[in-house]
Structure 1
């Protein structure tokens, strides 16, 4: 098996939400600073495969009109529907565990998961996420769509790094400890 890792790379509010109930993400704008990408470009230089859930994919399409990651890498949209592939986008509706094991067996760089919560829960249920990079945005939404939905097995993780930024964003980087 190769050394490829599946890394969850997401932002959440201080109280643990990915989005508001109506999928509003405008609160993410509060940490935007010219010339600051919070390490995203450097991180993406070590990634060649992108995984995202269908709802998150639809939100990206609604916001920017296309999936920017598809311009640079192979992308998998996890869905229940059978859809024809597009350029560098595969709509995947089979067992996600099989997909991850297959991708990890292939040579290449790391694999990024960008959400959403349903896909994250599926991946966590099978202990498939190797690392977690979570950017905590300094806002309390009070309600919305939780990052971690619960109902997954307990997992031991260790902090690799934490970085705080002038904007108030705190980025946490954890690794899942191997199960004995």
Structure 2
């Protein structure tokens, strides 16, 4: 899926859900979803397939943590310290125990940490 800037959506080959408050028609494999996040994730987990990849901010992650709907985390550390910004995880979420599966280091200094959630 291309947007007005000419940038190609990197997951265009996968079935994608974009959470939105404004209903829009499906475009190819991209569905604009206006329902409850919990309902969508439970539905997707009940279907056949391998993984659900979620890319979002602290509010989205917090909501999924409260419902115990996250199986794994891949957290990317970018070598820039910002003065202000949004926290990675919001307050008010349950404690989540993690077990490190792997780490990956990239040439420019980015590091990815892959964890599985152990208190499921």
- What TM-score results when the alignment is normalised by the length of structure 2? 0.84
Which structure has more relative contact order (CA 8 Å, sep 6+)? It is 1
CA contact (8 A) 1:78 1:119 kept: no
CA contact (8 A) 1:161 1:172 kept: yes
CA contact (8 A) 1:69 1:75 kept: yes
Q: Indicate the residue corresponding to 2:48 in structure 1.
A: 107
- What TM-score results when the alignment is normalised by the length of structure 1? 0.59
Distance in 1 between the 2:77 and 2:113 partners?
8
Q: How does 1:167-178 map to 2 (within 5 A)?
A: 167-178=108-119
Runs of 5+ unmatched residues, structure 2? none
CA contact (8 A) 2:62 2:90 kept: yes
Distance in 1 between the 2:77 and 2:6 partners?
23
1 or 2, which has the higher strand percentage?
1
Distance in 1 between the 2:16 and 2:34 partners?
13
Distance in 1 between the 2:7 and 2:108 partners?
28
Say which SS state the counterpart of residue 48 (structure 2) adopts.
coil
Aligned: 1:83 with 2:24: yes
Runs of 5+ unmatched residues, structure 1? 1-59
Distance in 1 between the 2:76 and 2:102 partners?
12
1 or 2, which has the higher helix percentage?
1
State the aligned residue count: 119
Aligned: 1:92 with 2:33: yes
Pairwise CA RMSD:
2.1
Cα drift, residue 115 of structure 1: 1.1
Q: Indicate the residue corresponding to 1:6 in structure 2.
A: none
Aligned: 1:159 with 2:100: yes
